[in-house]
Amino acid sequence: MIENTKEIESLIRLLDDPDREIFEHVHDKLLSYGSEVVEYLESAFGEAFDPIQQDRIANLVHEIQFRTLKEDLSLWYHGGAFDLLQGALILNKYQYPDLDEQKVINQIEAIKRDIWLQMIYDASPSDHIKLINHVLYAIHGFSGNTANHQDPQNSYLSQVLETKKGNQISLAIIYAIIAQKLDVPVYGVNLPQHFILAYMDESRSQEFEGGVLFYINAFNKGFVFGRRDVDMFLKQLNLKPDRHFYEPCSNTDIVKRILRNLISAYEALGSTDKVRELNELLAILDE
């Protein structure tokens, strides 16, 4: 909790100082306060008329928020990366730092509840998937964004839940999170140029080799397919059928895939600063 608000306000007023040395001292001092100073900076931004001061306030707010984001991602990763939704929400805050996480969690819980109300737990795996597909695609209206596939908004869960349109990875994440909450063993598979889901045979969960009952394409309304289809897809790409193309990947791999999608999307838009920062986030997960 910041005690000396007068000092904060005085420092903010000095952000437009033409003396570079004074500005850098003020910048570093405000930066040292961390996220607690953001609300003061945002308030000052609304009252500032000087474009230099506005620009410096905006840059400082972003710098503080980006530093916090890197710390959160590092904690998630080094803490075991157990919660996929949390990892996706951390990345969501890159573009939407004021994200209401609880709203996203509630939206996912609402879809889960709609499935759970109709669920018969001793039903077959294919029946479970038919029900999830019906609720997710027919009732809630989710679909792959084929018209604007490169749009970075496709990778932010909050936006996908609002627009009901996403890319392979974001739709697969929503699908897998909901399925796992319902004790349906569906996990992400890091296929090249595509991201799919695998329905696992839980009796063989300790040995993923051969433990996949079937695959699911979340981008194509939950279309179900088999191992031979994966074989053919890899053959078209001239890739050898490596084991990790068939089996569930880690949550870290999934979050890295989101980052690579975003890097590709922002490269296409020529957003070099975003590309640089997203590569910094990717480096955290490569430590």
| 57-111 per-position pLDDT tens digit | 888 899 999 999 999 999 999 999 999 999 999 999 999 999 999 999 999 999 9
Q: Are residues 219 and 263 in the same domain?
A: yes
Q: What is the domain range of residue 73? A: 5-78
Residue keyed to tokens 């990717």: 282
Q: Are residues 10 and 149 in the same domain?
A: no
Question: What would the pLDDT profile of 12-23 be if each residue is shown by its tens digit?
Answer: 887 877 888 888
CA–CA gap between residue 256 and residue 282 (Å, rounded): 6
Angle between helix axes 272-285 and 51-78 (nearest 10 degrees) is 20
What one-character DSSP code corresponds to residue 166?
A: E
69 or 206, greater pLDDT: 69
Last residue of a domain, one of 21, 50, 78: 78
pTM of the prediction? 0.90
Average pLDDT for 8-14:
81
Last residue of a domain, one of 44, 78, 112: 78
CA–CA gap between residue 61 and residue 37 (Å, rounded): 9
Last residue of a domain, one of 61, 78, 95: 78
Contacts of 181 (CB under 8 A, 6+ apart): 108, 109, 112
CA–CA gap between residue 191 and residue 209 (Å, rounded): 16
Q: Are residues 248 and 148 in the same domain?
A: yes
The fraction of the chain above a pLDDT of 90, given in percent, is 71
Q: How far apart are the first and last CA of the chain?
A: 32
Contacts of 42 (CB under 8 A, 6+ apart): 57, 61
18 or 194, greater pLDDT: 194
Q: Are residues 90 and 52 in the same domain?
A: no
Q: Tell me the torsion sign for CA atoms 7, 10, 12, 18.
A: negative
- How many domains in the chain? 2
Q: Are residues 92 and 183 in the same domain?
A: yes
Q: Are residues 37 and 119 in the same domain?
A: no
Helices (H), the chain: 5-13, 20-32, 38-47, 51-78, 84-95, 101-116, 125-133, 157-163, 168-181, 227-236, 251-269, 272-285
Q: Are residues 88 and 117 in the same domain?
A: yes
Q: Are residues 222 and 276 in the same domain?
A: yes
